[in-house]
Amino acid sequence: MQNLGIIFRRELMGYFATPLAYVFIVIFLITNGIFTFELGGFYARGQADLIPFFGFHPWLYLFMVPAIAMALWADERKTGTIELLLTLPVKLADAVLGKFLAAWALTGIALLLTFPIWITVNYLGDPDNGVIVASYIGSWFMAGAYLAIGSCMSACTRNSVIAFILTVSICFLFVIMGSPILLGAFPDWTPQVIVDAVAALGFLTHFDSISKGVLDIRDVLYFSVFIAIWLLASAIVIEIKKAN
Amino acid sequence: MIEIRNLTRKFDQVVAVDDLSFEVREGEVLGFLGPNGAGKSTTMKVITGFLAPSAGSVTIDGFDIGSKPLEAKALIGYLPEGAPCYGDMTTLQFLRFIARIRGFRGEEAERRIAGVMRDVALEAVTHQTIETLSKGFKRRVGLAQAILHDPKVLILDEPTDGLDPNQKNQVRELIRNLARDKIVVVSTHILEEVTAVCTRAIIIDEGRIVADGTPAELEARSRYHHAVEVRLSGELDLAQELQGVAEVAGVEQDRLDQASFTILSAGKPIFARVSELAQQRQWPVEEFHVRRGQLEDVFRSVTEAAQQQEAA
């Protein structure tokens, strides 16, 4: 556990020691603003809520989060520091989790820095702040799911660009799983159970209710289990690479 | 003690390490030699637990690196090939990170960091980010992290690669000072380094041990062991002169310097005998000295022999 904290701190410090964290945060905030105000019609809707803000997060994360995740392991492999890290007396679980949590914290920080929009909506009207808090938490968990996929893809290759492309592709698959784009593509004779099962695995199914302020424990559980599975897969990939 | 039993490591179909077995005991400084691609780095990566063996086992002081990795790794200090370090950190930040991982806190950690920074002369770059450092400094940061916890087992993969002659000397001095009750394994392809710091040398080629002994023992296997080098100032047929002298195995003329000859020994020191002959027969000798067996010769002969066998 101690080592987990040490690795977490080192990783987070690493993000802020380079321009990466600042570039990520600034671009995240700008795109968020564009999506919410321009595409989401934040003002035109005339409602004091953050639905247009959160509604774009699955699509925003699709490009922003893999950009962070791609370096997690691929860069360590490329620079050789993975050899240093994995020969220190550190459990692999601590390393995988520490790195993931640091990246997750960075997305959390970026998300928190969107607070002016929360102030704005409170200034303009009288929103349900409980709903907004719930949506923030849900959005952060969803970001974690993207990151966990990215962690695994990054462990697969020493090339972070490949890791990025793979992560975006897989994340995209999970985003559209719950959307009419994919569900509509099933032929009519497909049993409803299968369509439902596929939809249940998609991000949107779970995020839609969250973005409307319903923080169902099952949705949080879905993202938590999803993260756990992909992190486990990351660890397994790293173990396999040790032997091959 | 490091025990390596029947270690084999394959990459796809390529066998990098082939059924390797050896032990290294406390107090030994083992020079690990071999041509590029012989399996030196792979062996070290398996010993330190970065790679899993395809077959066989590695134990460090009784801890199997596969089943008790944390206990084994805690005993090891490792400088990987190329000395990778986190480039975005300063030297001090990086060493603090390593110190914490190694379980040192507060004053103890600071004392150890200050100690290793002094040992490898890093004070000048304390607050510099590692990626901006020169190759020599980077290598020393890598060394510093390896010795920070005063490890029982030190595995150094080409520790002096990329250092200037002065820095090379410093590192060798450091290794010599470390040694006493420790186990040090140094891979290198600089042979003089082995003579300078190692108590034992293993030459591996194509993943197999082709020679194992003290540097002196290996030098004795050189065909130039006990040989005498002679430089003549006038005409003389040395081969003719030495015909029938039992102790002499042959005479070789230097390819570049036609006046220089090497008189090969049949096994025993021949200096006294040859100098006696030179005086008796009044050879026009300009220079005259004993040539030491060179590790280079042994290295070349054992690794080439292995390759020829492979070809045949």
For residue A84, the chain B residues in CB contact (below 8 A) are 78, 80, 84-85, 145
Least Cα separation, residue B273 to chain A (angstroms): 56
The dihedral through the CA atoms of B231, B233, B235, B240 has a sign that is negative
CB contact under 8 A, B86 and A243: no
* Beta pairing, strands B183-188 & B153-157: parallel
Chain A residues in contact with chain B using a Cβ-Cβ cutoff of 8 Å? 3, 6-7, 10, 13-14, 17-18, 79-81, 83-84, 86-91, 242-244
In angstroms, what CA-CA distances link B100 with B105, B108, B109, B137?
Answer: 6, 10, 7, 22
pLDDT band at B250 (very low <50, low <70, confident <90, very high): confident
> How far from each other are the two terminal CA atoms of chain A, in whole angstroms?
29
pLDDT at A201: 82
pLDDT, residue A67, reads: 94
* Contact assignment for B129 to A17 by CB distance below 8 Å: yes
Helix axes B135-147, B165-178, angle to 10 degrees: 10
Range in A116-125, B21-30, B249-258 the model is least confident about: B249-258
Q: What is the per-residue pLDDT for B136?
A: 86
Q: What is the pLDDT of residue B35?
A: 84
- State how beta strands B76-79 and B153-157 pair: parallel
- What is the band of B166 on the pLDDT scale with cuts at 50, 70, 90? confident
Residue B276: both structure tokens together:
């006696």
For chain A, the domain total comes to: 1
What is the average pLDDT value for chain B, to the nearest integer? 87
The pair of structure tokens assigned to A186 is 């099933």
**Do residues A115 and A33 lie in contact, with contact meaning Cβ atoms separated by under 8 Å?**
no
CA A52 to each of CA A48, A116, A239: distance values in angstroms, whole numbers, following the listed order: 11, 15, 42
Helix, strand, coil tally for chain B in percent (to 5): 40, 30, 35
Q: Which residue of chain A has the CA closest to B12? A: A244
Report the alpha-carbon distance of residue B177 to residue A51 in Å, rounded: 67
Domain encompassing residue A127: 2-243
Residue B215, pLDDT score: 83
Residue of chain B whose Cα is closest to the Cα of A95 = B101
Give the residue on B whose Cα is nearest the Cα of A16. B88
Q: Using the beta-carbon criterion (under 8 Å), do B84 and A91 form an inter-chain contact?
A: no
In contact, A35 and A117? CB cutoff 8 Å: no
Give pLDDT, residue B230. 83
Question: Highest mean pLDDT: which of A31-40, A41-50, B157-166, B296-305?
Answer: B157-166
**Is residue B138 less than 8 Å (CB to CB) from chain A?**
no
CB pairs under 8 A between A and B: 66
Pick A79's closest partner by Cβ from B87, B100, B145.
B87
Q: How far apart are CA A234 and CA A97, in angstroms?
A: 10
The predicted structure's pLDDT at residue B309: 67
- Give residue B253's pLDDT band: very low, low, confident or very high (50, 70, 90): confident
Global pTM?
0.87
Q: How many CB atoms lie within 10 A of CB B135?
A: 14
Task: Name the residue with higher pLDDT: B66 or A200.
Answer: B66
Share of chain B above pLDDT 70, in %: 96
Domains of chain B in start order, with CATH, are 2-220 (3.40.50.300), 228-291 (3.30.70)
Distances (CA, A) of B109 to A90, A156, A226, B70, B116: 18, 35, 39, 20, 11
State the maximum Cα–Cα separation within chain B, in Å, rounded to a whole number.
Answer: 76
B84 and B98 Cβ atoms separated by less than 8 Å: no
* pLDDT at res. B148: 94
B290 Cβ contact partners less than 8 Å away, ≥ 6 residues apart:
B226, B227, B228, B229, B269, B271
* Residue range B283-289: mean pLDDT, rounded: 82
Predicted pLDDT of residue A180: 74
Cβ–Cβ below 8 Å for B100 and A14: no
The per-residue pLDDT string of chain A (244 residues; one tens digit each, 9 = 90 and over) reads 789 999 999 999 999 988 999 999 999 999 988 888 777 777 777 676 777 788 888 889 999 999 999 999 999 999 999 999 999 999 999 999 999 999 999 999 999 999 988 898 888 888 888 888 888 988 999 999 999 999 999 999 999 999 999 999 999 999 888 777 777 777 778 788 887 777 788 888 888 877 777 778 888 899 999 999 999 999 999 999 988 7
Q: Which residues contact B197 (CB under 8 A, 6 or more apart)?
A: B29, B31, B172, B175, B176, B186
pLDDT at B179 over 70: no
| Intra-chain end-to-end CA distance of chain B, in Å | 38
Mutation choice for B interface testing from A15, A88, A238 by most B CBs within 10 A: A88
Name the pairing type of β-strands B228-232 and B260-265.
antiparallel
User: Does the beta-carbon distance from B100 to A243 stay under 8 Å?
Assistant: no
User: What is the DSSP track for chain A?
Assistant: -HHHHHHHHHHHHHHHHSTHHHHHHHHHHHHHHIIIIIIS-TTTT--SS-HHHHHTHHHHHHHHHHHHHTHHHHHHHHHSHHHHHHHSS--HHHHHHHHHHHHHHHHHHHHHTTHHHHHHHHHHS---HHHHHHHHHHHHHHHHHHHHHHHHHHHH-S-HHHHHHHHHHHHHHHHHHTSHHHHTTS-TTS-HHHHHHHHHHSHHHHHHHHHTT---HHHHHHHHHHHHHHHHHHHHHHHHHHH-
Interface check B288 vs A, CB under 8 A: no
Distance CA(B301)–CA(B312), nearest Å, equals 16
User: For residue B311, is pLDDT > 70?
Assistant: no
Task: State how beta strands B63-64 and B14-24 pair.
Answer: unpaired
- CA-nearest of B70, B151, B59, B50 to A86 is B50
